[in-house]
Amino acid sequence: MKAPIGHGRTADDDAISRRNRRSRSYLTYVASVVLLAALSLSLTTACDGDDDASPSPTPTPLIVDGSTIDVHTHVMSAELTALLGAQGPATADDLVERMDEASVDRAVVLSTAYMSVLPDDAAMSAENDFMAAQVARYPDRLIPFCGINPLRAAALDEIDRCVDDLGAQGIKLHLVGSQLDMTNPAHVDALTRVFERVEARELPVLLHAANPIGLPLDSDGLTSLGTVIAQHPGVRVVLAHCFSLLDNQQLELITEGIRQGLLQEDQLFLDVSACLQAFQDAPLSERELMVWRLRKFGLERVFFGSDYLKIDPTAITPADAVRVLALYPFTQEEIDLILRNDASAWLDGS
């Protein structure tokens, strides 16, 4: 494990990271399998002849002074917080205070209604209602995204209700939180139906991809997810946490998929929440590699995100997330590109 990742994670993420710590060797194994088998193409070939190889680390301190938008924040109701055994609720008042502290202008607020711990369809709707009521307190600062669990009977109706009644501007999907297994055909079908509805309603998606216990997707799961995304070219997707958080070699596979035309470049975006924290004290060579991967993906499609959720006592705040950018060997121009991006290419396709 490169670094503690407990900060600022959703409660289900924290459970996942504990499992990850126990599964280190398996993680390494999965990473190897994915790299060798997933696309069975040579990443070394992709690297050969790479003219825009990363420059050496900048010698001058980088200036990080707030962000135009944080695309990954959460609120959570007292009811759901209690189900997770934590102290809540996590409110918009607190979130906006943290945004002000970090000079963050706006934030996408992701409902955590996707969680499988919620007992039924009504509880999923109630959690989305809570998010919408919180966001309504700061309509100029906060952008509402509903959480949807694709395995719930009401998933598609809830997408419509979110748009028509709650004014949701996008959807958060969390494969781990919803216990969605991309190697299970019924689950892939459920996700496909959600993508169909999301495409019909012209909504952007923020997606946390992993297998049901939080490990990076294996080659079959990655292929299934890539296929669902590719079959719905109208859905603009932010891949949360640099796509796979702890195994960012998988980001190279996404980038290679785009290079080969299997995935659409203008459909895919990244947020840097939690993943930059995870590697913040890694050897410089690892942080250089992270920056290289983000450059190869395309920094103009990389957004600032914190994954702030107040109920986690070790939460990464927006201020923490802004500061960590300066620990990576970006150029100042690149830092500014990320922090000044308003994410409109994802939010409304402009």
> Under a CB-based contact definition with an 8 Å cutoff, are residues 290 and 57 in contact?
no
Q: What is the C-alpha to C-alpha distance for residues 43 and 252, in angstroms, rounded to an integer?
A: 8
Binding mask 157-196 for Zn ion (x = CB under 5 A): ----------------------------------------
39 vs 240 by CB, closer to Zn ion: 240
258 vs 343 by CB, closer to Zn ion: 343
178 vs 219 by CB, closer to Zn ion: 178
Q: What is the C-alpha to C-alpha distance for residues 71 and 117, in angstroms, rounded to an integer?
A: 24
| CB-side neighbour CA atoms (13 Å) of 47 | 9
215 vs 258 by CB, closer to Zn ion: 215
Least distance between Zn ion and beta carbon 184 (Å) = 23
Q: Which stretch binds Zn ion (CB under 5 A): 6-14, 18-26, 30-38, 122-130?
A: 6-14
The candidate with the shortest Cα–Cα distance to 244, out of 8, 34, 6, is: 34
Q: Which residue is nearest to Zn ion (CB)?
A: 307
- Applying CB under 5 A, does 14 fall inside the site for Zn ion? no
Q: Which stretch binds Zn ion (CB under 5 A): 7-15, 18-26, 212-220, 223-231?
A: 7-15
Least distance between Zn ion and beta carbon 17 (Å) = 13
* DSSP secondary structure, 89-135, as one string: -B-HHHHHHHHHHTTEEEEEEE--TT-TTS-SHHHHHHHHHHHHHHH
144 vs 329 by CB, closer to Zn ion: 144
What residue has token string 């950018």? 325
Q: What is the C-alpha to C-alpha distance for residues 153 and 35, in angstroms, rounded to an integer?
A: 36
Distances (CA, A) of 327 to 104, 137, 276, 346: 19, 34, 9, 26
39 vs 148 by CB, closer to Zn ion: 148
Binding mask 293-312 for Zn ion (x = CB under 5 A): --------------x-----
Sheet holding 237-239, edge to edge: 67-74, 104-110, 142-147, 170-174, 205-208, 237-239, 268-271, 302-303
Residues in the interface with Zn ion (CB under 5 A) total: 2
Which residues form the interface with Zn ion (CB under 5 A)? 10, 307
